[in-house]
Structure 1
Amino acid sequence: MNANKLGLVPFTSTSLTSNWMFKQGGLTSDKEYIPANDLPTEVHRDLLKNEKIPDPFKDLNELSVRWVGDETWTYRIEFAAPADYGKAGMVTCLKFEGLDTFASVYLNGGKILKSDNMFVEHDVNVSNKLQATVNCLEIVFESARKKGLELVKEHDEHRFIVHQTEVSRGPVRKAQYHWGWDWGPILMACGPWKPILLQTFVCKISDLAVSYELAEDLESAEVVASVKCTGPVRGVTFTVIHNKSGKEVAIKHVDAAGVKEVKAVETSFQIKDVDLWWPRTYGEQGLYTIRADTQVVKGASTHAQTLCKTLGFRKIELVQEPDSIGTSFFFRINNTDIFIGGSCWIPADSFVTRLTPDVYRSWVQLAADGNQTMLRVWGGGIYEADEFYKATDELGILVWQDFMFACANYPANKAYLDSVEVEARQNVRRIRHHPSVVIWAGNNEDYQIVERYSLQYDTEDLDPESWLKTNFPARYIYEHLLPSIIKDESPRTPYHPSSPFGNGKSTTLKVDPTIGDIHQWNVWHGTMEAYQRLPELGGRFVSEFGMEAYPHVSSLDQYVSRKEDMYPGSMALDFRNKAIGHERRLVGYVAENFRVRYDIEGFTHLTQVMQADAISWAYRSWRKQWGAPGRRKCGGVLVWQLNDCWPTMSWAVVDYHLVPKPAFYAIKRAMQPVAVGVQRKYKPWTMRPADKLWQRDTGHVDMHTLWRDAEFDVWVVNQATDGMCGDVVLKCYSIKTGKVLKTVRKEGVEVKANAATEVLQDHVFIEDESGESFNSTTLGPFVVEASLYVDGQLIGIDTAWPDPIKYLSFEDRGVEVQVLSDSDILVSAKKPVKGFVFTEKKGVKPSDNGFDLMPGQEKRVSVTGCVASELTWMYVSI
């Protein structure tokens, strides 16, 4: 019997979005229900709506709302039964896409669901549980922190170790950053954080899955598509549509005998003249929509239900091959080697239900505008919203996707493993069709825990069952369970056991730069090396490194009520910076390199210029190490981090309000498709007196030695698959006078395809323009500028300054800022200028920022979001 003959609508889905209420306590609590936000929502947002708590982002209010995470909260809604409820053949379900986290669900007083994993969705059949008129749905959320402590006690056979936060997060499948991190507050959110749907059906389809095999020439694809059918589905029509043209490139109808049990329906077809999906700047982002339509009446042209997914055809390889350095680690897409330059991504809000599709799009667009090619979704956050992956697909941003484990020794008891398997399969199935997702990693830094605490890890033991008996049982998750799930659900996507991970013998603490990916934290953390050492601290793929900086003052002052607290080191500002030891480390790095200013504007500027300098040293030098085919010393670099989850000072290169710091623009310049680089050889000035740079009899640094006979490397990087010919011009400017001391031209430089081309190595200036011996003692310190010209057009420019900047004098720079129009500014200077920064604020976007200026140049900057004459600026001036 088909649905039409029964007089029923085959499939309906209604979101239970509005008219929710909530209260403190469980079902028996005598607290009054008050209005909640529309779903999705979280308890802090609902308390804010009702003015029950202050804004957790302001002042020290984070402390005054900590109690929220220790309480039980109940959500409630009343709704009517569907129109066809109770009719023969009709099934009614409640679909919970995400409950955070320990949730008991009651329908008309009866428990229908108990959930303990934030990342899992649930379908609950309520066909015999609804009332004809009004129904009451109640969800009780217990404290995840308290439940976590209970689980730690319950599983005393396991050694729970967590970094950053208290131990209670270890056994809980919840966004780990809710417990706080070294960049974020402790805000233990809970609530219905994803939609809740009331669905009815006589028949339905679900789990639309697509896999494909590209031909060797990448011009055609063999596609396999399938759905799961429930109930009397008569047939399914699969259609593939080219998104750009709207043309149907394939269509197949599959008969499906109507049965009540779940049945898989599968078909295959060939797509010719495939429009490939490429990372941004390498080609277009060819996208297709695959649509599955159910047919419930044999031969009918109308459809009862439609499922759609967007996909892109691309060939992805993680190239890990022995070479003269060790083992390579880089991505090859559509047979083209791709150097990765991008960022690590954390949740963009402490309350992710505030994030709209437009906000997600703006973040990914910002990364694309900044010449970034990858975002790494970090393992302590969430499997991101569909809107995030949709934006990365459309804008050509690659995604490195961690599973949600970070900085802990996680348990592996049966209940935990069962929950993790459901979580992983569901989220891989949800995300796998996105062409932007090019790698899955098992966790973030969990093998660092193994090393630091000497947990059991025998690389010779290849028996997964035996791993469960060690004090590092999570190895079973990362090296057996998760790779098995990827093999089942997304076999053509590379899997990596962890970030970082080498060969199982060296990860974060014992960095091996010859294999795997590394997190380089011996700048800022660890041994706190000078950031000028970053070029020698790289590896095959640097998936984390970073340097802190303040955001623009405009992004902080609205969260500090007392203006007298707006000074560096105030309690209000120190409280916002969650990084361990930041008071010493940030000031230390600034003071080591610059003359310190302690007014808020001046200190903010110096932290930003310092961060941009550190980022530049890394991106330029590690991209240079991309080398050439057969010698890809470094396959990519991802800064920690792109974004913030609240208004703070951190390693982010863009603040909570999507306002870039100068470091963002430094990455943008370093990651131009064709870029020139120049770098001085680093001569430490902070070494021990026994080192040769110091005068042994006095213990003071020898400045003549520090800057004399400075050696330079000059190179060009080109991501294009074709080579080119260009001219490189090297100029040496006196910092004191602005005079050009020396010009070196290298004409007809053959710039190699998809490689780094060395132009000058260990270059030393021998004589100045007049032919006199080049001596920094008489000429004074100088800055070097390298420019690349192709067909007479300036393609790229880079500068190398003598370090430390604090030893230089920047008096009387002769800076001129000319407003050309409401949207354009022209900046010039008579003498070299370091760190020219426009003060940005939310909505204001200059085309470039945080740049250096050399005499004789004019820098044109366009701005949106304000009138150009309203901009203010700073540069290093003392």
Structure 2
Amino acid sequence: MNQQIVLSNWKFKAYDEAVWLQAQVPGSVHTDLLRHGIINDPFYGVNEHELQWIDKKDWEYEATITLSESWTGMRHLQLVFEGLDTYADVYVNEQPVLSADNMFRAWRVDVKDYVHAGDNKVRVVFHSPINRDLGSLHKQGMEMPAPNDQSELGGLEDHKLSVFARKAPYHYGWDWGPRFVTCGIWREARLEGWSAPKITGLYIRQNQISEQAADLTAEIEIHTPVDWTGRLQITSDGKVWDREVTLSSSSQIIELDMQISKPELWWCRGLGEPSMYTFKAELLEQDHPVSEKQVKTGLRTIRLVRERDQAGASFYFELNGVPVFAKGANHIPNDSFIPEVTNERYRHEIATAAASHMNMLRVWGGGIYEEDIFYELCDEYGILVWQDFMFACSMYPGDEAFLHNVSMEAEYNIRRLRNHPCIALWCGNNEIDSAWAHYIEESGWGWKQNYDRNQREKLWTDYETLFHRILPETVSRLAHNIAYWPSSPLRSLSRDENQHANTLSGEGDIHYWGVWHSVEPFDNYNSYIGRFMSEYGFQSFPELKSVLSYAPEEQLELESDIMLAHQKNGSGNRLIKEYMEQYLPDPKDFKSFLYMSQVLQAQAIKTAIEAHRRNKPYCMGTLYWQMNDCWPVASWAGMDYYGRWKALQYTVQRSYRDIMLSVLESPEGEIIVYAVNDLREQVSARLRLQLFDFHGRVWYEGDETIVLEPDSSVQIKTVSRESLLQSSDPQQSVLLISLEREHELLTSNIFYFAGFRDIELPQPRITIREVPGTKGTSFTLESDSLARQVWLSAQEEGIFSDNFFDLIPGVPMTIQFYQRSNEERPFVEGIPGDVTVRSMVDFIK
């Protein structure tokens, strides 16, 4: 059988220094320096600014591996680095064996001729990506657009170097992330040895899948040191497929057809169970295993449907023949220093997505091709993945070496991920097509105006070579039946002015940033609706506990040095304040501003989500920006760096329910109630409308039975403002709309007849009592007057079943606390410790 040794006991030092220190692998030089106390916490205060020297130095890592003669006697010894970040020369016993230049690829090299029995030294020299790519820039002779590259912070003036390295773009800074240009051995390093045939790859190609049968082909990649004859066997769920094989001494792919009758299909969350199959491939010699490899996959068909219709062209995903309304968010890396992300942190994120009723995450193109555990969890929880290639908001080189490197990167990652049923789409890049806007002179981000005609044509030709030829050809060849989309957003691949994204064009996917960047009102979410909303967002601060992790009390003001350092969007703090002055009462101090910013963010995204879902099936996807953070910061995230849910995350949890109610007031004063049903079944329920004043008096009440068809969005009730309010004060009235089935509350929503700057909130008296028999894990809240945006904060880390909700007198709310637990069970019923209950009136002047 094959054997392996994971390389451990690494040490590191600066290349020009003599003292070696213990290193952690997988890891990065920044975190190694931090563990030894050589640098201060990179995330605290303005320390980021003081640590820009690290990326200007070369660093080296060294480990010793002791081999027995049985190891050195093997026919093949291969040194494997799953991830080297990024420019690295590898030496074995001081002999050069490998030069790496891509963070996103695994690197393998045969080292049999370089090792011996006893101690062997493996040394990795990492070259400064800054010094290396200053040379690349000089050779290119032309600056390239990369507006998120914070080169000035890095002491490089306006020299944007991120485009040259096949390295995570966000390491160079982004408008939500710091600039830490890392290096290091960021994934596992090991030595593999074998003398017999070795299975190096197993892909379960899904030829045709239906409820009746799954027609599959196993593609088994085998490396054979010598000619070999034996039996190849595939097993899954008690089934066996096998054949005799004769292998020559080379690498080869053997195919084996398989069929499964009445398979259990993989479904995304909300449509069914995410059933998985385990397939095990073995090479057997006289019934004894010589080599084996095992993969898990789910059986499903996934299709991007783009068909002409009266409005333009559809854009939606069809899973096992069923249209999917995509509900989710954009995912960025969970840390600036990726090896710091534990499996528990990954599970916390994906479990949060599932608990928030999401069915899709978009892995955005400025980060990384995520760790295996990320996709395994998406498979497990039924979360579809829109997967970008790692290109974002920049133009890129087009020389032969760069394109070849990207081709190898794409092939490696498609092969690595193609067994995962969660993968729904491969997308070429983030926002480059719309930023350059080649076919419309006055459109785009102003990039192309900085170049003459010849430069423009060269940059665009290079772009098309990469995103319109190399990447789609690689996806087509290796990712069976998975669609490719060249850029997000994009209207269509028309190669004329109709190619670039247009919110009102009726086709393609859309990034709508009029709200936020252009300071447009929240109501514009109701007008600018595309076929698939793949980006939109609004910022807030994290809660006070998180802010205090990077700032002392004396820095708690909007324009302090630390608050500005932890706000990477240049206008971010100003925009939050400007929008708050339009929509919410004035906060009484900065700590209150933190809370109010979260309420504001939630209000914005709630408006957008409801608009997108109401317009189903014209619109078939809503992915807000963004799910998570890579450091503690003010940003668009719904869950902060520490995994703490903001008001937005709780609002999303309500807004993404499979059954949703939405309420609008028309210009004519009609109150219109919509119901959205994403389920595959008809729903009969009781619709109930109740109008309260702020002290609990019921001014109006009505109910009726309604029937919601499967997969539908319909207008279910229209009533005039006057007939509802009658003599009640619109500034002191609240409308509660709910759907109930057999005394079970399916969903509800609340409508106010005045903006919250026009409403005078009473001072509520909120009572909280433990639910008997729950041992301190569940509580019922009541209030004697309207309590707006009730915020429960717990002593223990965890989440509540609901939070940031409006509490109407006479309508009690029962909530459960879930303590943040371990890797296998992220949320378990727990005791919150001290619970603090506050509402909006506690935070306003």
Same fold (TM over 0.5): yes
The residue correspondences of 1:235-274 to structure 2 (distance < 5 A) are 235-241=230-236, 247-257=237-247, 259-274=248-263
State the distance in 2 between where 1:726 and 1:585 align. Answer: 42
**Aligned length, in residue pairs:** 805
The corresponding residue for 2:415 is 429
Q: Is 1:131 aligned with 2:116?
A: yes
Judging by fraction of residues, say which structure has more strand. Answer: 2
The residue correspondences of 1:175-324 to structure 2 (distance < 5 A) are 175-203=168-196, 204-232=198-226, 233-241=228-236, 247-257=237-247, 259-295=248-284, 298-299=285-286, 301-324=287-310
Q: CA deviation at 1:472?
A: 5.0
Question: Match for 1:740: what amino acid?
Answer: V
Q: 1:23·1:75 contact (CA, 8 Å) conserved in 2? A: yes
Q: CA deviation at 1:157?
A: 5.9
Partner residue of 1:723 out of 667, 678, 682: 682
Q: 2:504·2:529 contact (CA, 8 Å) conserved in 1? A: no
Partner residue of 2:3 out of 7, 12, 18: 12
Q: 2:209·2:301 contact (CA, 8 Å) conserved in 1? A: no
Return closer, same or farther for 1:94/1:779 CA change in 2, 3 Å cut-off: closer
Q: 2:434·2:490 contact (CA, 8 Å) conserved in 1? A: no
Q: CA deviation at 1:539?
A: 0.9
State the distance in 2 between where 1:351 and 1:607 align. Answer: 28
The corresponding residue for 1:647 is 632
Identity of aligned residues (%): 29
Greater mean deviation of Cα atoms: 312-321 or 779-788: 779-788
The corresponding residue for 2:22 is 35
The corresponding residue for 1:545 is 536
Q: CA deviation at 1:506?
A: 5.9
Q: Is 1:495 aligned with 2:484?
A: yes
Partner residue of 2:471 out of 482, 493, 514: 482
The corresponding residue for 2:376 is 390
Return closer, same or farther for 1:734/1:332 CA change in 2, 3 Å cut-off: same
Q: 1:468·1:474 contact (CA, 8 Å) conserved in 2? A: no
Q: 2:430·2:487 contact (CA, 8 Å) conserved in 1? A: yes
Q: 1:679·1:799 contact (CA, 8 Å) conserved in 2? A: no
For residues 292-313 of structure 1, the C-alpha deviation after alignment (integer angstroms, 9 at most, x for no partner) is 1223xx42x2213221111110
Greater mean deviation of Cα atoms: 263-272 or 343-352: 263-272
Q: Is 1:826 aligned with 2:783?
A: no
State the distance in 1 between where 2:127 and 2:41 align. Answer: 23
The corresponding residue for 1:740 is 698
The corresponding residue for 1:623 is 613
Question: Match for 1:235: what amino acid?
Answer: G
Q: 2:316·2:532 contact (CA, 8 Å) conserved in 1? A: yes
Return closer, same or farther for 1:84/1:767 CA change in 2, 3 Å cut-off: same
Unaligned runs of 5+ in 1: 1-9, 242-246, 458-465, 627-631, 684-708
The corresponding residue for 1:855 is 809
Q: Is 1:554 aligned with 2:549?
A: no
Q: 2:379·2:421 contact (CA, 8 Å) conserved in 1? A: yes
Q: CA deviation at 1:231?
A: 1.8
Secondary structure in structure 2 of the residue aligned to 1:174: coil
Return closer, same or farther for 1:131/1:514 CA change in 2, 3 Å cut-off: same
Return closer, same or farther for 1:75/1:285 CA change in 2, 3 Å cut-off: same
Secondary structure in structure 1 of the residue aligned to 2:723: coil
Return closer, same or farther for 1:51/1:784 CA change in 2, 3 Å cut-off: same
Q: 2:491·2:501 contact (CA, 8 Å) conserved in 1? A: no
For residues 70-128 of structure 1, the C-alpha deviation after alignment (integer angstroms, 9 at most, x for no partner) is 111011112123432443x6121111111000111111122111111101111111111
The corresponding residue for 2:723 is 767
Q: 2:221·2:251 contact (CA, 8 Å) conserved in 1? A: no
For residues 502-524 of structure 1, the C-alpha deviation after alignment (integer angstroms, 9 at most, x for no partner) is 12446777434511111111111
The corresponding residue for 1:876 is 840
The corresponding residue for 2:759 is 808
Q: CA deviation at 1:318?
A: 1.0
Q: CA deviation at 1:34?
A: 1.0
State the distance in 1 between where 2:195 and 2:796 align. Answer: 50
Q: CA deviation at 1:710?
A: 3.7
Question: Match for 1:196: what amino acid?
Answer: A
Return closer, same or farther for 1:351/1:780 CA change in 2, 3 Å cut-off: closer
Q: Is 1:71 aligned with 2:57?
A: yes
State the distance in 2 between where 1:438 and 1:716 align. Answer: 28
Q: 1:513·1:538 contact (CA, 8 Å) conserved in 2? A: no
Secondary structure in structure 2 of the residue aligned to 1:305: strand
Q: CA deviation at 1:676?
A: 1.9
TM-score (norm 1): 0.88
Secondary structure in structure 2 of the residue aligned to 1:409: coil
For residues 438-463 of structure 1, the C-alpha deviation after alignment (integer angstroms, 9 at most, x for no partner) is 11100111113212256789xxxxxx
Q: 2:63·2:123 contact (CA, 8 Å) conserved in 1? A: yes
State the distance in 2 between where 1:679 and 1:394 align. Answer: 37
For residues 346-368 of structure 1, the C-alpha deviation after alignment (integer angstroms, 9 at most, x for no partner) is 00011110112222122111111
Greater mean deviation of Cα atoms: 711-720 or 594-603: 594-603
Return closer, same or farther for 1:803/1:517 CA change in 2, 3 Å cut-off: farther
For residues 762-782 of structure 1, the C-alpha deviation after alignment (integer angstroms, 9 at most, x for no partner) is x4233358xxxx367x65453
For residues 137-168 of structure 1, the C-alpha deviation after alignment (integer angstroms, 9 at most, x for no partner) is 11111111222222121112674544453310
For residues 822-865 of structure 1, the C-alpha deviation after alignment (integer angstroms, 9 at most, x for no partner) is 22221122333321111357722211111112222000011133
State the distance in 2 between where 1:467 and 1:450 align. Answer: 10
Q: Is 1:679 aligned with 2:664?
A: yes
State the distance in 2 between where 1:680 and 1:146 align. Answer: 59
State the distance in 2 between where 1:305 and 1:809 align. Answer: 73
The corresponding residue for 2:87 is 102
Secondary structure in structure 1 of the residue aligned to 2:403: helix
Question: Match for 1:873: what amino acid?
Answer: V
The corresponding residue for 2:827 is none
Q: CA deviation at 1:580?
A: 1.8
Unaligned runs of 5+ in 2: 152-159, 438-443, 450-454, 820-829
Secondary structure in structure 2 of the residue aligned to 1:546: coil
Secondary structure in structure 2 of the residue aligned to 1:408: coil
Partner residue of 2:165 out of 172, 192, 204: 172
TM-score (norm 2): 0.91
Question: Match for 1:181: what amino acid?
Answer: W
Q: 1:724·1:753 contact (CA, 8 Å) conserved in 2? A: yes
State the distance in 1 between where 2:733 and 2:677 align. Answer: 28
Question: Match for 2:562: what amino acid?
Answer: A
Q: CA deviation at 1:36?
A: 0.7
Q: 1:836·1:853 contact (CA, 8 Å) conserved in 2? A: yes
State the distance in 1 between where 2:604 and 2:838 align. Answer: 19
Return closer, same or farther for 1:840/1:633 CA change in 2, 3 Å cut-off: farther
Q: CA deviation at 1:795?
A: 1.4
Question: Match for 1:490: what amino acid?
Answer: A
State the distance in 1 between where 2:143 and 2:179 align. Answer: 25
Secondary structure in structure 2 of the residue aligned to 1:601: helix
Q: CA deviation at 1:175?
A: 0.3
Question: Match for 2:698: what amino acid?
Answer: V
Q: 1:518·1:544 contact (CA, 8 Å) conserved in 2? A: yes
Q: CA deviation at 1:798?
A: 0.2
Secondary structure in structure 1 of the residue aligned to 2:764: coil
The residue correspondences of 1:580-595 to structure 2 (distance < 5 A) are 580-595=570-585
Question: Match for 1:612: what amino acid?
Answer: A
Q: 1:250·1:269 contact (CA, 8 Å) conserved in 2? A: no
The corresponding residue for 1:350 is 336
Q: Is 1:369 aligned with 2:358?
A: no
Secondary structure in structure 2 of the residue aligned to 1:32: coil
Q: CA deviation at 1:215?
A: 4.4
Question: Match for 2:32: what amino acid?
Answer: D
Question: Match for 1:474: what amino acid?
Answer: Y
